Chain A
């Protein structure tokens, strides 16, 4: 919402400066977005051409001597056809920025003649499109004075960012009312229109809305006969230009002026072009109208139109039709002042993509009580500017306004804001804003004025009192302490998500945040792509479906890094994936990938581990370690965690695993990826990754005490024994470890796999697995016989379960 300072002062009597006004506007909730104080116009002064002679070297140029009211006349080379001796115009000295040509003037030489400034056209000052010649002012214009001040161009323009709840401030009068209420001046009472009325308005209006009368709660129409519709006066044009509107003709300009001055959109029909009576009705499906923006709109029954015997003449409350518009030939004009349903206007306007000043106001709510007075004021302006005779106004559909009554306890101001405002002051503020307060004591009845449809409860009244009294008067007051140390403030899931992030970052991985929506093909590849999780209006086709997994986004991110030359990356994310559109369908997943040589120890080659396979590509075991690190960090008992071969289809079937807790709970998957999945994602390189479902982890058991169990340390020396078994290649090392551990649960403290070997020496299809068994005696030192018996049991158990042999 834009307006000029002088326009505001039409309604507000104030001595406040521009800065004070702007500060107050912001303070009462009418946030000033931009102020143009028109300082750019300051350097332009009125100057008189003392002499104009032909340029010696150019036919179309003249050399002017210009009196700027200061010092000797100045020489200016000018190409304007109207440059002549005696012309009074606008002069810009060297150093002046000329907005219309985006140039800061310098002393120049044009075809060999020095030029020390410029006589400007209106286009060069961006005050109109006129570039027929330089500005040509009346001979009595005061030479040496500011041109902007003389021409009324120094009127500062203020733009406020109006919140959608304040239809009353879509009018400059309304803004003045708010400022006056805040004590910044006095609201000037509008002068009651006074003019003679002759005859009836012959065109009748019928509301034909099939019972949906709320779509047009009122319609007023008046004919003015015998007008002369030329350009509007300069003062009106200047104000309209200043706020960004293009003057058309007096009748149209009056409607635009009223839209901003009073927030009262109007429409004018050329009566000669209206055939028969007007009817307000729903559009017929497919009905077309050529609107004033010269575009044709195809309408439907949810649009309300004003039609005559020719068809649709106007889209009610949104935009008029081209056919019955007013032009310089208009003699009889029909002025419409109507009310429309805000929701319907918003919907219609949106569906056709029409943004107009009328729609802006009607969808917020136009003051119903001003429908007729607005028409009176517009009529007065028409008579003033275009002459003619006003006929009687015809009003249909309007049932009057019932003010909303709000029960208002004054104490609510303090209850909600902490402000101490006396009830007298509250009443005063409300009155100044146009509310009517009745009753006395602690609770009063407040009638809401017709221009404030946004106020419907006592909290709204508290806001009115607060913003006018001044928000800055509210002193911060500490929030009362709970009176105790704040207990646990995170849920288990939040704690685990957080710790998973820190654990993975501690493993040299970088946390990424990737899009929740991914390409449909990627979603389908990773088990997603359900229609209920596909956006109806994605911002781009490759951000269309809610992700079923973190991996596609991370794999794509790794590839983007690789494409920039950073191929060894370790990325993770702890975030949501989506199984369905219900809250419980949103999983909390910790996922990560490593690419290239980005192992835990570090990426790339290094002298120290060249011999130990430094720079070796990442594989399933890197991913497994990351996955288990998450589970461990989240505090799950690792003894209950089981690893099974295989994982969903996007993993390498022979190089992937499933992590379970008990037979049912799947904690996650890890491994290398299926080559087809990588190809479909268009990624390449050594890649391994994992996903752990943090939300699948059971809540930790509630413990009766924080005390840790007593530590039982054996006084006897622990002993290590090595064994090597040759087994079929398909036998899991895990089976050997389990079998060995099971030999004596009491004595065997640990079993570590320390070598895995495949080669001709162990035979085709075989492998050798070497384990170290840690034996911890608990009640006596073991004898040789004890060891022999234990060893035999270990070997026996392993051979029995794996079908292998003890390696010689």
Chain B
């Protein structure tokens, strides 16, 4: 065994024995540093004869290469081991719970969601949204809508009244969203296509009646809108809203003071199960009232009924919410019970659109 063999053997043994990065660095310095054992041998090359340099020189260089490689390998092995050890030490319990996103916890009330759904549908048909005050005058709530003073139809409205003011006028809580029809006609010339969602009030309370509830009303006024157009609008709406391919609707002649002719509309459904299903079945369920705007109402809105014509309809917002989403009791809508809101409410990122679908 030559002296070179001995050195190599020793150095490789030292490399193998190095247990951390510091130790391997010490080995490197000892062998390849300025005063290292291999560096010392390399310094002798200059004193060698050309022949000697060819044999011994090559051997020394080969030794250097092998030792350098060995140190490099060991170094990276030790670094990997160190990282492995650190990672192992850093391991945590992945089963520990984290907070849910606030956006997953928050809820939009079904009323707001339904208004957005309706807005999406009617927006597509060229309608815009109109609103009006809850505290109304008798004129807007009744007289302008062709409810004559003392007419029995007024009685059917179970109106909430405020005390008479100095002039003897009694404001009311609007019993329907229809006053906004008049307010819109006063403010805007036809063509008119509006949807009026909002709070309405009647002095009545049971599982399907609440002293405060919501209606959504529609109004179309132009020079040719007729019953046939109204049928189309309402059928298209019901299909889109209930998200079914087809609906069968029954228009029954009826009476409302502010429309002539007037209709009540039933939708064909299956009520045999706990949840009403539309687009199938043999039952009828009343869903809305509608009609051609009464000439007196057009006049009250400042329009000539021989020039302009149109139709209007109204339905219970809470009621269609109940029909679509299955809430059993109207009164729960106004209780703010977080269990109910969490169950029947909608996530803030569930935004009804026509491009993404009304409901998930």
Inter-chain contact A543/B211, CB cutoff 8 Å: yes
A472-B10 Cα distance, complex, nearest whole Å:
106
Q: Can you name the residue of chain A whose Cβ is closest to the Cβ of B337?
A: A561
Inter-chain contact A166/B162, CB cutoff 8 Å: no
Partner of B135, one of A477, A586, A608: A586
**Among A87-95, A575-583, A651-659, A757-765, which stretch is in contact with chain B?**
A575-583
Inter-chain contact A459/B292, CB cutoff 8 Å: yes
List 20 additional A-B contacts (Cβ < 8 Å) besides A477-B228, A535-B161.
A27-B253, A163-B254, A363-B152, A416-B309, A471-B263, A476-B231, A477-B231, A489-B129, A501-B112, A510-B338, A511-B341, A513-B336, A535-B160, A536-B160, A537-B160, A581-B135, A585-B135, A586-B135, A601-B102, A608-B99
Q: With contacts A416-B292, A459-B260, A608-B96 known, is A476 near B232, CB below 8 A?
A: yes
Partner of B260, one of A457, A512, A578: A457
Enumerate 26 A-B pairs (CB-CB under 8 Å) in ascending A order. A347-B150, A459-B305, A471-B263, A477-B228, A477-B231, A479-B220, A481-B126, A482-B191, A486-B127, A490-B128, A494-B131, A498-B112, A501-B108, A505-B347, A506-B349, A513-B111, A534-B162, A537-B161, A539-B160, A546-B135, A554-B336, A569-B338, A600-B102, A601-B102, A602-B99, A607-B96
Min Cβ gap A432→B in Å is 16
Among B235, B255, B345, residue most surrounded by chain A Cβ atoms (within 10 Å): B255
A516-B333 Cα distance, complex, nearest whole Å:
13
Interface check A26, CB cutoff 8 A: yes
A490-B120 Cα distance, complex, nearest whole Å:
11
**Among A204-212, A386-394, A462-470, A660-668, which stretch is in contact with chain B?**
A462-470
Contact with A along B250-262 (1 / 0, CB 8 A): 1111110000111
Q: Can you name the residue of chain B whose Cβ is closest to the Cβ of A566?
A: B338
Min Cβ gap B98→A in Å is 7
Inter-chain contact B150/A502, CB cutoff 8 Å: no
Inter-chain contact A578/B135, CB cutoff 8 Å: yes
Partner of B235, one of A163, A415, A472, A476: A476
A553-B334 Cα distance, complex, nearest whole Å:
10
Inter-chain contact A489/B345, CB cutoff 8 Å: no
Inter-chain contact A513/B338, CB cutoff 8 Å: no
A538-B351 Cα distance, complex, nearest whole Å:
37
Interface check A165, CB cutoff 8 A: yes
Q: With contacts A511-B345, A602-B100 known, is A532 near B171, CB below 8 A?
A: yes
Q: Can you name the residue of chain A whose Cβ is closest to the Cβ of B251?
A: A471
Instruction: Report B-chain residues with C-beta under 8 Å of the C-beta of A507.
Output: 102, 106
Min Cβ gap A579→B in Å is 10
Inter-chain contact B105/A164, CB cutoff 8 Å: no
A418-B233 Cα distance, complex, nearest whole Å:
14
Inter-chain contact B129/A459, CB cutoff 8 Å: no
Q: With contacts A474-B228, A600-B102 known, is A466 near B253, CB below 8 A?
A: yes
A226-B225 Cα distance, complex, nearest whole Å:
64
Instruction: Report B-chain residues with C-beta under 8 Å of the C-beta of A418.
Output: 226-229
Partner of B233, one of A475, A479, A583, A608: A479
Inter-chain contact A586/B133, CB cutoff 8 Å: yes
Inter-chain contact B255/A166, CB cutoff 8 Å: yes
Min Cβ gap B233→A in Å is 5
Q: With contacts A31-B264, A459-B294, A467-B261 known, is A601 near B99, CB below 8 A?
A: yes
Q: Can you name the residue of chain A whose Cβ is closest to the Cβ of B292?
A: A416
Min Cβ gap A540→B in Å is 8
Interface check B14, CB cutoff 8 A: no
A498-B203 Cα distance, complex, nearest whole Å:
29
Instruction: Report B-chain residues with C-beta under 8 Å of the C-beta of A350.
Output: 155
Interface check B39, CB cutoff 8 A: no
Q: Can you name the residue of chain B whose Cβ is closest to the Cβ of A363?
A: B152
Q: With contacts A457-B260, A539-B211 known, is A602 near B105, CB below 8 A?
A: yes
- 8 Å CB contacts to B: which residues of A522-564? 531-539, 543, 546, 553-554, 557, 560-561, 564
Instruction: Report A-chain residues with C-beta under 8 Å of the C-beta of B152.
Output: 164, 346, 363-364
- 8 Å CB contacts to B: which residues of A387-436? 414-419
Contact with A along B228-271 (1 / 0, CB 8 A): 11011101000000000000001111110000111110000000
Instruction: Report B-chain residues with C-beta under 8 Å of the C-beta of A347.
Output: 150
Interface check B34, CB cutoff 8 A: no
Partner of A29, one of B229, B252, B337: B252
Across the A-B interface, give the 6 residue pairs with the lowest CB-CB distance, nearest first.
A418-B228, A29-B253, A508-B102, A163-B255, A505-B106, A463-B261
Instruction: Report B-chain residues with C-beta under 8 Å of the C-beta of A515.
Output: 211-212, 334
Contact with B along A725-745 (1 / 0, CB 8 A): 000000000000000000000
Interface check A639, CB cutoff 8 A: no
A553-B336 Cα distance, complex, nearest whole Å:
9
Interface check A756, CB cutoff 8 A: no
Partner of B109, one of A512, A560, A582, A602: A512
Interface check A509, CB cutoff 8 A: yes
Interface size class of B (residues with CB under 8 A): 35 or more
A197-B334 Cα distance, complex, nearest whole Å:
68
Contact with B along A324-358 (1 / 0, CB 8 A): 00000000000000000001001100100000000
Interface check A64, CB cutoff 8 A: no
Q: Can you name the residue of chain A whose Cβ is closest to the Cβ of B135?
A: A581
Min Cβ gap B148→A in Å is 8
Contact with A along B184-223 (1 / 0, CB 8 A): 0000000100000001010111000001100000001000
Interface residues of A, Cβ cutoff 8 Å to B: 26-29, 31, 163-166, 343, 346-347, 350, 363-364, 414-419, 457, 459-460, 462-463, 466-467, 471-472, 474-482, 486, 488-491, 494, 498, 501-517, 531-539, 543, 546, 553-554, 557, 560-561, 564, 566, 569-571, 574-576, 578, 581-583, 585-586, 600-602, 606-608
Interface check B119, CB cutoff 8 A: yes
Partner of B261, one of A31, A417, A509, A570: A417
Inter-chain contact B252/A471, CB cutoff 8 Å: yes
A211-B97 Cα distance, complex, nearest whole Å:
86
A602-B335 Cα distance, complex, nearest whole Å:
23
Inter-chain contact B106/A514, CB cutoff 8 Å: no
Inter-chain contact B345/A583, CB cutoff 8 Å: no
A515-B331 Cα distance, complex, nearest whole Å:
11
Q: With contacts A29-B253, A494-B129, A537-B160 known, is A511 near B220, CB below 8 A?
A: no
A471-B254 Cα distance, complex, nearest whole Å:
11
A510-B347 Cα distance, complex, nearest whole Å:
9
Instruction: Report A-chain residues with C-beta under 8 Å of the C-beta of B250.
Output: 472
- 8 Å CB contacts to A: which residues of B303-338? 305, 309, 333-338
Inter-chain contact A566/B260, CB cutoff 8 Å: no
Inter-chain contact A510/B106, CB cutoff 8 Å: yes
Partner of B134, one of A471, A514, A564, A586: A586
Instruction: Report A-chain residues with C-beta under 8 Å of the C-beta of B251.
Output: 471-472, 474
Q: With contacts A459-B292, A474-B227 known, is A536 near B135, CB below 8 A?
A: no
Q: With contacts A476-B232, A511-B112 known, is A602 near B341, CB below 8 A?
A: no
Instruction: Report B-chain residues with C-beta under 8 Å of the C-beta of A534.
Output: 162-163
- 8 Å CB contacts to A: which residues of B92-127? 96-100, 102-103, 105-109, 111-112, 116, 119, 122-127
- 8 Å CB contacts to A: which residues of B57-111? 96-100, 102-103, 105-109, 111
A477-B173 Cα distance, complex, nearest whole Å:
36
Inter-chain contact B337/A564, CB cutoff 8 Å: yes
Q: Can you name the residue of chain B whose Cβ is closest to the Cβ of A602?
A: B99
Instruction: Report A-chain residues with C-beta under 8 Å of the C-beta of B13.
Output: none
A517-B225 Cα distance, complex, nearest whole Å:
39
Inter-chain contact A608/B98, CB cutoff 8 Å: yes
Q: Can you name the residue of chain A whose Cβ is closest to the Cβ of B133?
A: A583
Interface check B132, CB cutoff 8 A: yes
A29-B253 Cα distance, complex, nearest whole Å:
4
Q: Can you name the residue of chain B whose Cβ is closest to the Cβ of A606?
A: B99
Min Cβ gap B239→A in Å is 11
Interface check B301, CB cutoff 8 A: no
Q: Can you name the residue of chain B whose Cβ is closest to the Cβ of A531?
A: B163
Instruction: Report A-chain residues with C-beta under 8 Å of the C-beta of B135.
Output: 533, 546, 578, 581-583, 585-586
Interface check B281, CB cutoff 8 A: no
Q: Can you name the residue of chain A whose Cβ is closest to the Cβ of B296?
A: A457
Min Cβ gap A179→B in Å is 14
